[in-house]
Structure 1
Amino acid sequence: MSRFDPDALRDDSPLTPEKRLWCAVLFRILQDACRELPPKADNAAKVERDQARSWLLSSQDLPVVCELAGFDADAVREAAERLAARDWPAIKLDSPVGPDEKIAA
């Protein structure tokens, strides 16, 4: 996989409840990392956002979580690095991604 592509989960392996859970974990971390905060956001929200960004870029747990979710860890980290290079633009992951759409950061 060369992209962080939710559609890539449509492989021969079944989408088990466990895999769905780990996908949700990854998506939540991406949402947190790309969250737009209002100018008067409290420190807790800023810390949460910054921790998500740091985790995506440097966590040793990322390969395990990606494997459990069915994603390529290198592709996820590369996508995070591209997002970081663009100053973490807001992305929307809570809307359904169709078969012809890809989340390409």
Structure 2
Amino acid sequence: MGRFDPDGLKDMETMTPEKRLWCAVLFRIFQDACRILPAKADNAQKVERDQARSWLLGGQDMRIVCELAGFDPDAIREAAERLKKNDWPPIKVDLSEPAPLQAAA
């Protein structure tokens, strides 16, 4: 299984809410691209997965989202190309450490 654990996400508590949002968008696109579809998946599911894969492999929107999330777009594209070479393996999410809770102001 593939693993998505970029170093930039280790300091979530110091990120601005906007940067955290763009990181979540980027992570979700990786999840969509690596999703295993059931044998009876409809065309909409296949199109969504294929669009996520295509989006990760290039384009101006991908570059903008990566920069807003604080990641190098070329590094993200290279990671997507490696996933493609490995037939888009499912992403393993490491939930061994709970996300820190922010105290209410």
Q: TM-score, normalised by structure 1?
A: 0.78
1:67 match: secondary structure = helix
Q: Is the 8 A contact 1:6 1:97 kept in 2?
A: no
Separation in structure 1 between the aligned mates of residue 47 and residue 82 of structure 2, nearest angstrom: 21
Give 2:87's aligned residue: 87
2:67 match: secondary structure = helix
Separation in structure 2 between the aligned mates of residue 27 and residue 8 of structure 1, nearest angstrom: 12
User: Cα distance 1:16–1:50, how it changes in 2: closer, same or farther (>3 A)?
Assistant: same
Give 1:17's aligned residue: 17
Separation in structure 2 between the aligned mates of residue 97 and residue 31 of structure 1, nearest angstrom: 18
Q: Is the 8 A contact 1:23 1:69 kept in 2?
A: yes
Flag as ranges the 4+ runs of structure 1 deviating above 2 A. 4-11, 95-98
The answer for unaligned runs of 5 or more in structure 1 is 99-105
Give 1:63's aligned residue: 63
Tell which structure's C-alpha radius of gyration is larger. 2
Structure 1 vs Structure 2: percent identity of aligned residues?
74
Q: TM-score, normalised by structure 2?
A: 0.78
Size of the aligned set, in residue pairs, is: 92
CA RMSD of aligned residues (A): 1.9
